[in-house]
Structure 1
């Protein structure tokens, strides 16, 4: 039977996860409007879609340090407040504020997204992989809401600024709820405690790099979709609203695979079959949406959603499955998400440069499918049943 404490933590985890994608997915359906109204070129728009991912990657490694100094619960409160502030600042009618606020929001997402998996490992260690699936489902739902409601909110509220700033209300509400009901701090088990291993020790293990590169490439696919999918669909003849809803349907389909992928992965002795399955779905979805005839739109949206939801859920699950304790999970989470998201930031910016150079959606589709093939190689290594453990005083990799 699930305890009251566990239920409360699960609800809080879901609310926080709901806030960590609208800051990015809400911009994509409005990108053409921003280019027209703000005079953004394709590279400038690419920079706008890249900034949150870049700052997410740069701040993620800082999360264990901040968690140690403030406590994980207070650190997460600060991240939610920073997120709300960034969402408010980015619509101010001052030069550069769109970029400053976007960077602040990305930093907040990096901190919160790194702290939460380690808290899950601490609060409910026996079901950490399954709860990570639920958390990923919250991320996907937030992304779908951001993508699907951006254009309707712009029409209802009278402008793109009001549409974008409305997501700050969700962040503020979650901040209030988190401050009121956050779990009691564990002073003796804080993330990033003094006994934490030097990062160079973690980097000396190939398993760390395998998980990081898998995280980075699959995240790059996700943020390209968040940043550019509606624009690429509009290039193929879709309206703004239809492109936004197509992306929203794709993200909604992520809900099913985000929750089910960790369960499916448990059917085999390791995660490799599940990882390859979701990557194949992602590749087929991109091919249907960006290279196949337009009649393949809905199958493409479904396949892309199932693939991306499952791959991200499994990537986060690897952070807890490949570590033996909450402290190592926090360190690996910061390192993998920091390096992975910094790598992922190249994707949206690269697509902007390709469009500026005259690349077609079909060219972009086949390049992305090639990257997914490379991601599959790292999945074969990262999905093996191995675990980092330091119980002997030295970091070891054990076969499970």
Structure 2
């Protein structure tokens, strides 16, 4: 019989029992449903802000630099906490780690419901980032173990649900604020789904990874020590790649609605644009990973995502008002597919779920610290030039550079570049 850790995670068990638990998890619709519900809570608190930014700034006196912190701080928190996320999970268990993340998100959103100052909003952004970081550090390792033969499909589902949450934030947040006449509702209402998901997560005892805690690996008495990821050059390249790619996402969720508001669009219409971008992300996060699952080389599909991004930025630069929904949808398709594929790419590099999860956590942690600079840099360019167009040109040039880096991720090099990490 398997043993249970205090955190509710199954420890050592006979091989037959572990195989049975593996099959049970892979067939568990309940687990997949919970995965979707958890993922839905990871983006609304980010995408609900920018469409409401004019009202928020008017009520709090918040300047543009402070306003950018509502996007930047969650990313910084994701980076800093993400570095320790796997270690935290190894101490308290993946179940409790994800519970703590959901609790932090619920509290952060509840704070926004009653926020009366810029300081409270900034605090809520940082707290939410901590919660998101804990969840994002643990989920990839769980997926790697539970669905070893269906990583692309399940990672696509995870990413699609995450983007779906972003879509809800971009559309439902401004709509609720307009209906109630209070921007607090558009930001704070997301405490309700987070609290509901937390209750389900703690109440439903679905099968969890049969290898101890996600952060600790297989249930051996003395697992082999894992070499720190920061000592590996490929781990750094993957992290920089992921973070640089996400600079486009953080910049767009921060400044796409204000860009169109400056061009005479209403807050609701600009929020709908952000919703269209997020809907396209949701579709791409399922479609591209499924296409990529047909082989081991992810580069053609990564290139397809970057080309879509480039086309979208070209549209914003050449004619933002004409076919606006087309340009932002093409951008979203590139962004959504790349997010999922980058995480799959990291998981591909190592076979062991514990170490692959640690690599994915490192890539996200460093990557989010890098992507936090996106809104700051693009906002600075906007202040310097008086237009966001120059910022879009800079991001389009970044896409070209990332396309060149993509060529380095040949599957034949995975083993040699990760030598000593298994």
Indicate whether the TM-score tops 0.5.
Answer: yes
Counterpart in the other structure of 1:179: 202
Question: Do residues 155 (structure 1) and 184 (structure 2) align?
Answer: no
CA distance in 2 between counterparts of 1:323 and 1:344 reads 24
Question: What secondary structure does 2:102 align onto?
Answer: helix
CA RMSD of aligned residues (A): 2.2
The residue that corresponds to 1:364 in the other structure is 391
Give yes or no for contact 2:76–2:368 (8 Å, CA) kept in 1.
yes
Segment of structure 1 superposing worse, 159-168 or 229-238: 229-238
Residue in structure 2 matching 1:79, options 76, 81, 101: 101
Where does residue 197 of structure 1 map in the other structure? 226
**2:363 is the counterpart of 1:336:** yes
| Residue pair 1:49, 1:349 contacting (<8 A) in 2 also | no
The Cα shift of 1:324 comes to: 0.8
1:309 aligns with 2:336: yes
Spell out the pairing of 1:1-400 with structure 2 (5 A cutoff). Answer: 5-90=27-112, 91-94=114-117, 96-186=119-209, 188-193=211-216, 195-199=224-228, 202-382=229-409, 384-387=411-414, 394-395=420-421
- State the TM-score, normalized to the length of structure 2: 0.87
SS of 1:144's partner is helix
Deviations 1:159-207 (A, max 9, x none): 11111110010100111111122544557432232644132xx233332
Greater Cα offset, 131-140 or 267-276: 267-276
| 1:351 Cα deviation after fit | 2.0
* Distance 1:184-1:195 versus aligned 2 partners, 3 A rule: farther
> Aligned equivalents of 1:179 and 1:388: distance in 2?
38
Note if contact 2:170-2:272 (Cα within 8 Å) is conserved in structure 1: yes
User: Bigger radius of gyration, 1 or 2?
Assistant: 2
Q: 1:198 to 1:232 in 2, by over 3 A?
A: same
Shift of residue 296, structure 1, vs aligned partner? 2.4
Q: Distance in 2 between matches of 1:176 and 1:282?
A: 38
Tell me, in whole angstroms, the C-alpha distance in 2 between the residues paired with 1:13 and 1:182.
Answer: 13
C-alpha deviation, 1:40, in angstroms: 1.7
Supply the distance in 1 between the matched residues of 2:230 and 2:414 (Cα, whole angstroms).
14
Gaps of 5+ in 1: none
The SS at the match of 1:295 is coil
Structure 1 residue 319 displacement after superposition: 2.6
- How far does residue 153 in structure 1 lie from its aligned partner after superposition? 0.7
- Give the C-alpha shift of residue 247 in structure 1: 1.1
1:290 Cα deviation from its structure 2 partner: 4.3
Q: Which moved more, 1:87-96 or 1:338-347?
A: 87-96
Whole-Å separation in 1 of the counterparts to 2:35 and 2:307: 29
- Give the alignment's TM-score, normalised by structure 1: 0.92
Q: Structure 1 residues 110, 285: closer, same or farther in 2, change over 3 A?
A: same
Is contact 1:290-1:361 (8 Å) kept?
no
Q: Summarize the Cα distance change of 1:391–1:156 in structure 2 as closer, same or farther, 3 Å threshold.
A: closer
Instruction: Please say which of residues 270-279 and 319-328 is displaced more in the overlay.
Output: 319-328
- 2:284–2:334 contact (8 Å) kept in structure 1: yes
**Who is 2:13 aligned against?**
none
CA distance in 1, matches of 2:126, 2:250: 15
Q: CA deviation at 1:127?
A: 0.7
Which runs of at least 4 in structure 1 moved beyond 6 Å after TM superposition?
Answer: 389-392
Is the partner of 1:93 in helix, strand or coil? coil
Map Cα deviations across residues 257-308 of structure 1 (whole Å, 9 max, x no partner): 1101112223444011110110110121122134425112122022111111
Query: 1:384–1:32: structure 2 CA closer, same or farther, 3 Å change rule?
Result: farther
